[in-house]
Amino acid sequence: KVLGSDNSPLLAQALRIYQANFHQKTSKVLTRGEVAGSTRKIYRQKGTGNARHGAKYAPIFVGGGIAHGPKGIRPANLVLPKKMRRRALSVALLNKLKDSELSLMKGVKEAPTKTSQAAHFLSVVGHPKRDVLLVTLAPAPSLFGAVRNLQGVTMKRASLVNAYDLLAHDQVIMTLPALTSILTRIKGPTSK
C-alpha cells in the first residue's frame, strides 16, 4: 500500500528536473560585438554588385559572432517539492518491482568482498552488460571495494537514492534494511 499506483506524468516531471539540475549551464558564446578583430566595413556600400555588409563578424559569416546563443547565465536550480519527490521515488520503485528489475539481499554480510566474487554474483542475479545500482543502508567499504572496478555498477546509500537513480539503472539490488529505509522515507513523517 505504501507504493501506491503508477503516475507517469509525475515521474517524467521528476526526471526532467533531475536532469536539468545535472547540467552545468555555463556554456557561453561570443556575440558579434564580442568577437575580437577589426570593425572595418568589408567593402564599400555601393557599386560592387554584392549585398551590403558592414563588419565581417556579423552572424551571417563563418567566424562571426553567434546570434541568440547561450549567455552563460546560470538560472536557479529547479526544485521538486518534498511530497512530489517522495511520490516519484515511490512510483520508480513500483516500476522496478513490476518489471522484475529489483533484487534483494539479506544484508551486507552476505555480499561478496572480492571483485571476482562480485562479478560472479552479478552474473547470477542477471547483470550481463546492464547498469546495476547497489543500494545499502550504511557505507560498506568491503562491498564498494569489490564492485568499484566492475563496469556499469554503481553503489549508493539508501538515504541518497532518488527516482532518477532507480530509473537510470537497468537492475537495482538492495539490502533489506535499505529497502525498509526507503519505504520509511516514502511514507514521510508519521502523523500523531
End-to-end, the C-alpha distance of the chain in Å comes to 20
Whether 123 shows a pLDDT value over 90: the answer reads no
Convert the pLDDT of each residue in 138-187 to its tens digit: 888 888 888 888 888 889 999 999 999 999 998 898 989 999 999 999 98
pTM to 2 decimal places: 0.75
Beta strands in 49-119 (DSSP E): 102-105
pLDDT band at 129, cuts 50/70/90?
A: low
Q: Grid cell 500523531 — which residue?
A: 192
Q: How far is CA 94 from the centre of its chain?
A: 19
Compute the average pLDDT of residues 123-133: 76
Element (H, E) at 134: strand 132-136
Tell me what pLDDT residue 121 has. 80
The answer on pLDDT for 191 being more than 60 is: no
* Lowest-confidence pick of 17-21, 46-50, 108-112: 108-112
d(CA 73, CA 26): 7
> Residue 171: enclosing H or E segment and its boundaries?
strand 171-175
What is the model's pLDDT at position 4? 61
**Residue-level pLDDT at 107:** 72
CA-angle at 98, arms to 93 and 104, nearest 5° = 60
- Is residue 38's pLDDT more than 80? yes
Going along the chain from its start, the domains and CATH numbers come out as 80-187 (3.40.1370.10)
Looking at residue 151, its pLDDT comes to 86
**Between residues 139 and 40, which one has the greater pLDDT?**
40
Report the percent of the chain where pLDDT is more than 70. 94
Angle (CA) 61-67-71 rounded to 5° is 135
Query: In this model, does residue 192 exceed pLDDT 70?
Result: no
The answer to whether the Cα torsion of 106, 185, 165, 140 is positive or negative is negative
Bridge partners of 154, per DSSP, are 133
CA neighbor of 178 nearest in space, from 105, 72, 92, 100? 105
Q: 51 or 129, which is more confident?
A: 51
